[in-house]
């Protein structure tokens, strides 16, 4: 770890907290817009992507709390608030996975097609850019503080990039070629990452594990 003054450390933790708060606010906005447009356009992938964003808000509250905790006591362990946030987040992810998988299979069976996936393309491109910048910034702060929790948060944010890429691919392919089931396949791809996130939440509840989504 590089030698940092007390002022530099305080500013880095302020930055980490600011990034956590921005992530929460961004996910709220993304969730509202994506679920609305996904419902209107009958795009399950976009709707599921937006629902995932709401779950990330719960996770983000735990992350913001964690930053404050390690700022005040870098050697402290995960507390009750964080463990509760992890449990709620894990349950929410599993419920989301169940709903998306069942609906995806039903849509494939019935041949359901979205009205359009144009907004899925737009939102996914914006999300990739925003989340990639957040990952880079969080990693920079985490490396300077030599903080495993903050670096783990950056890795979790990277999962949002992967999910955005899946949404972009499924939405883009549908817009270009009109393949009906591709929206449902994209939804199943999102479900895979949501399941992994839920699983890791429960793995971390009863441990001091910070690594997230290899």
Residue-level pLDDT at 207: 79
State the CATH number of the domain containing residue 100. 1.20.1510
Structural domain contains residue 210? no
Q: Which residues contact 40 (CB under 8 A, 6 or more apart)?
A: 115
Residue-level pLDDT at 137: 98
Give pLDDT tens digits for 59-80.
Answer: 999 999 999 999 999 888 889 9
Structural domain contains residue 26? yes
Count of structural domains, the chain:
1
Structural domain contains residue 10? yes
Structural domain contains residue 214? no
Give pLDDT tens digits for 117-158.
Answer: 999 999 999 999 999 999 999 999 999 999 989 999 999 899
CA distance to 33, 141, 167, 173, per residue, from 38 (Å)? 8, 35, 12, 16
pTM of the predicted protein model: 0.94
115 φ/ψ angles, rounded to the nearest 5 degrees: -70, -45
Q: Which domain holds residue 22?
A: 6-205
Structural domain contains residue 1? no
Structural domain contains residue 180? yes
Structural domain contains residue 212? no
Give pLDDT tens digits for 184-214.
Answer: 999 999 999 999 999 999 999 887 766 554 4
Residue-level pLDDT at 210: 66
pLDDT score of 25 more than 50 = yes
Structural domain contains residue 174? yes
Residue-level pLDDT at 214: 44
pLDDT score of 53 more than 50 = yes
């Amino acid at each position: 770890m590089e030698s940092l003054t007390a002022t530099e450390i305080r500013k880095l933790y302020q930055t980490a907290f600011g990034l956590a708060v921005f992530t929460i606010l961004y996910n709220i906005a993304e969730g509202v817009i994506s679920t609305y447009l996904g419902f209107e356009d009958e795009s399950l992938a976009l709707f599921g992507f937006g629902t995932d964003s709401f779950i990330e808000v719960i996770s983000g509250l735990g992350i913001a709390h964690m930053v404050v905790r390690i700022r005040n006591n870098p050697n402290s362990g995960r507390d009750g608030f964080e463990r509760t946030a992890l449990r709620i987040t894990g349950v929410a992810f599993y419920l989301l996975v169940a709903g998306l998988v069942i609906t995806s299979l039903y849509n494939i069976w019935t041949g359901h097609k979205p009205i359009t996936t144009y907004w899925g393309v737009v939102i996914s491109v914006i999300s990739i850019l925003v989340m990639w910048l957040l990952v880079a910034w969080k990693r920079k702060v985490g490396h300077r503080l030599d903080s495993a929790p903050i670096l783990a948060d950056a890795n979790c944010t990277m999962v949002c990039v992967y999910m955005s890429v899946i949404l972009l691919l499924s939405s883009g392919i549908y817009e270009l070629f009109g393949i009906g089931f591709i929206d449902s396949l994209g939804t199943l791809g999102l479900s895979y990452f949501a399941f992994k996130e839920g699983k890791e939440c429960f793995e971390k509840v009863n441990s001091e594990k910070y690594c997230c989504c290899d």
